Structure 1
Amino acid sequence: MEGIKHRKIEVNGINMHVAEKGEGPVVLFLHGFPELWYSWRHQIQYISAQGYHAVAPDLRGYGDTDAPSSITSYTCFHIVGDIVALIDSLGVDQVFLVAHDWGALIGWYLCLFRPDRVKAYVCLSVPYLRRNPKVKTVDGMRAMYGDNYYICRFQEPGEMEAQMAEVGTEYVLKNILTSRKPGPPILPKGKFGTGFNPDMSDTLPSWLTQEDLAYFVTKLEKTGFTGGLNYYRNFNRNWELLAPWSGVQIKVPVIYITGELDSVYTSLGFEEYVQGGNFKKDVPNLEKVIVQKGVAHFNNEEAYDEINNYIYNFIKKF
Structure 2
Amino acid sequence: MEGIEHKTVSVNGINMHIAEMAQGPVILFLHGFPELWYSWRHQILYMAARGYRAVAPDLRGYGDTTGAPTSFVSYTTLHVVGDIVALLDAVAPEQDKVFVVGHDWGAIIAWYLCLYRPDRVKALVNMSVVFTRRNPMMKPLESLRAFYGDDYYICRFQEPGEIEAEFAQIGTKRVVGKFLTYRNAGPLYLPKGKGFGDSPNTPIILPSWLSEDVDYYVSKYEKNGFTGGLNYYRALNLNWELTAPWTRVQVTVPVKFIVGDQDLTYNAPGTKDYIHKGGFKKDVPFLQEVVVMEGVAHFIHEEKPDKVNKHIYDFIHKFSTSGCSVS
What TM bracket, shorter-length normalisation?
A: over 0.9
Per-residue displacement from partner, 1:158-214 (whole Å, max 9, x unpaired)? 11101111111100010000111002111112342338x99x7533101112x3110
1:73-152 correspondence runs (5 A):
73-90=74-91, 91=93, 92-152=95-155
The corresponding residue for 1:57 is 57
Give distance in 2, aligned partners of 1:190 and 1:115. Answer: 43
Per-residue displacement from partner, 1:234-286 (whole Å, max 9, x unpaired)? 00000001100000111100010000010111114222211121000000000
1:210-289 correspondence runs (5 A):
211-289=212-290
The corresponding residue for 1:176 is 179
Are the aligned partners of 1:257 and 1:289 in contact in 2 as well (CA < 8 Å)? yes
Are the aligned partners of 1:27 and 1:55 in contact in 2 as well (CA < 8 Å)? yes
Give distance in 1, aligned partners of 2:187 and 2:58. Answer: 27
The corresponding residue for 1:48 is 48
Give distance in 2, aligned partners of 1:202 and 1:12. Answer: 39
Deviating above 6 A after TM superposition, structure 1's stretches of 4 or more consecutive aligned residues are: none
Give distance in 1, aligned partners of 2:161 and 2:79. Answer: 21
- With normalisation by structure 1, the TM-score equals 0.97
The corresponding residue for 2:205 is 203
The corresponding residue for 1:9 is 9
Amino acid at match of 2:209: W
Amino acid at match of 1:73: S
Q: Indicate the larger mover: 268-277 or 299-308.
A: 268-277
The corresponding residue for 1:294 is 295
The corresponding residue for 2:322 is none
Are the aligned partners of 1:160 and 1:192 in contact in 2 as well (CA < 8 Å)? no
Amino acid at match of 2:245: P
Give distance in 2, aligned partners of 1:22 and 1:265. Answer: 34
Amino acid at match of 1:159: E
Give distance in 2, aligned partners of 1:201 and 1:266. Answer: 27
Give distance in 2, aligned partners of 1:143 and 1:271. Answer: 20
The 1:218–1:288 alpha-carbon spacing in structure 2 relative to 1, beyond 3 Å, is same
Give distance in 2, aligned partners of 1:193 and 1:291. Answer: 27
Per-residue displacement from partner, 1:33-52 (whole Å, max 9, x unpaired)? 01100000100000000000
Q: How many residues align?
A: 315
Give distance in 2, aligned partners of 1:276 and 1:185. Answer: 26
The corresponding residue for 2:170 is 167
SS at match of 2:187: coil
The 1:21–1:58 alpha-carbon spacing in structure 2 relative to 1, beyond 3 Å, is same
Amino acid at match of 1:263: L
SS at match of 1:156: coil
The 1:270–1:80 alpha-carbon spacing in structure 2 relative to 1, beyond 3 Å, is same
Give distance in 2, aligned partners of 1:264 and 1:201. Answer: 25
Are the aligned partners of 1:6 and 1:18 in contact in 2 as well (CA < 8 Å)? yes
Gapped regions of structure 1 (runs ≥ 5)? none
RMSD: 1.4
Match 1:194 to one of 187, 193, 197: 197
Give distance in 2, aligned partners of 1:204 and 1:71. Answer: 32
Structure 1 residue 141 displacement after superposition? 0.9
Are the aligned partners of 1:97 and 1:121 in contact in 2 as well (CA < 8 Å)? yes
Question: Identity over aligned residues, as a percent?
Answer: 62
Give distance in 1, aligned partners of 2:193 and 2:141. Answer: 19
